[in-house]
A = this chain, B = another copy of it.
Amino acid sequence: MRTLKTFASDNNSGTHPDILRAINLCNSGHAIGYGDDQYTELALKKFKEHFGEEIDLYFVYGGTGANVLGLKAITQSYNSIICAETAHINVDECGAPEKFTGCKIQTVPSENGKILPSQIDPLLHGFGFPHQSQPKVISITQPTELGTVYSIEEIKDIAELAHKHGLLLHMDGARISNAAAYLKANLRDITVNAGVDVLSFGGTKNGMMFGEAVVFFDKILSIDFKYIRKQGMQLHSKMRFISAQFEAMLSNNLWLRNAQRSNDLAQILAKEIIKIPAIKLSQPVQINAVFSIIPKEIIEPLQQEYFFYVWDENKNEVRWMTSFDTEEKDIFKFVNTLKKYLP
């Protein structure tokens, strides 16, 4: 089996040993299905330590499920959801949000993955006009798909705009731990305290085997989420195996250590990359992603040895990601391989 560390995505990594240990440990005897078990109770307790006592919490299988169902809970089909053109819900979920919520996705152009209140504001019109999808949610990705991180102030400004117009703020936090590490902030300050109403809290990309969480910061919003989760095909029967992972993830700062590690390694990779004149970073490196513009002719040969994604074909922009298990030596090995192909 291939054991090479790649830089294609943090989801090419495996499961963190502490998480795997938790999985192995919880595999004892029987547990009532669908979440009515002690592991789930413990995981909920951990989430409350981080996000406050008032949350309502649901585990789902994957990130697309977390986003789509979280959005479904707070919309009706005649609503629109505003997000960056680059958002995962817009470009990477094969239309799952439209299909399952019926809503229109209204996009805002973005160079770096972030959207600004000044861009959103012009879309907040047509309220009460039945010909138009009614704006109901602003969805931001933290960190963005381009590896940039919203500051707390930036989130607050968007939240304020949203709430002023009766909209809700959804956050796709598939890599939120990496954002927290970058901001040196706790999870509560960059979510509920900044005005977020519903959060997709990512587990898989940060070292879990499977499982994501939908966190509601107002229980009014999730009053019927248990039905939505089941109808949305995201209710796991042997729930303990998700719960135990999250319990481990939120213990001993594992969530933060994993994120910090992958962030740090991306800095090392970036430092090596900027030494190479033929390559240019195309985004600031804030989390575990390094976006670069590289010579077109080396893309394919390099992909043969190290699979990775071309982000923008027209610009020869590629994305390299580190993960919790990347090691310094992996980076040097990769950079050496890369250099081999440079003219």
Contacts and interface: CB of A to CB of B under 8 A. Distances in A.
A92 B238 contact: no
A13 interface: yes
B130 A94 contact: yes
B224 A1 contact: no
Nearest to A92: B131
Stoichiometry, copies per complex: 4
A284 interface: no
Which of A100, A131, A134, A236 gathers the greatest number of chain B CB atoms within 10 Å?
A: A131
A58 to B, nearest CB: 10
Contacts of A13: 30
Interface in A231-245: 231-238, 240-241
B26 A12 contact: no
Contact of A30 (B6, B92, B228, B233): B6
Interface string A278-311: 0000000000000000000000000000010000
Nearest to A19: B27
A193 interface: no
B38 A1 contact: yes
Interface string A100-115: 1011110100000000
A233 B230 contact: no
Interface residues of A, number: 85
A124 interface: no
Nearest to A24: B20
Nearest to A227: B78
A12 B38 contact: no
Interface string A1-35: 11111101101111100001001101111111110
Nearest to A306: B30
A175 interface: no
A186 interface: no
B96 A231 contact: yes
Given A9-B237, A14-B26, A92-B132, 11 more contacts: A1-B28, A2-B37, A14-B31, A14-B240, A20-B27, A64-B235, A76-B224, A96-B233, A107-B107, A130-B226, A210-B241
13 contacts: A1-B29, A8-B30, A14-B238, A20-B24, A20-B27, A30-B323, A77-B231, A78-B95, A93-B131, A94-B134, A96-B232, A131-B230, A204-B238
Closest 9 CB pairs of A and B: A3-B29, A78-B227, A99-B102, A11-B237, A95-B133, A94-B230, A65-B233, A61-B61, A130-B226
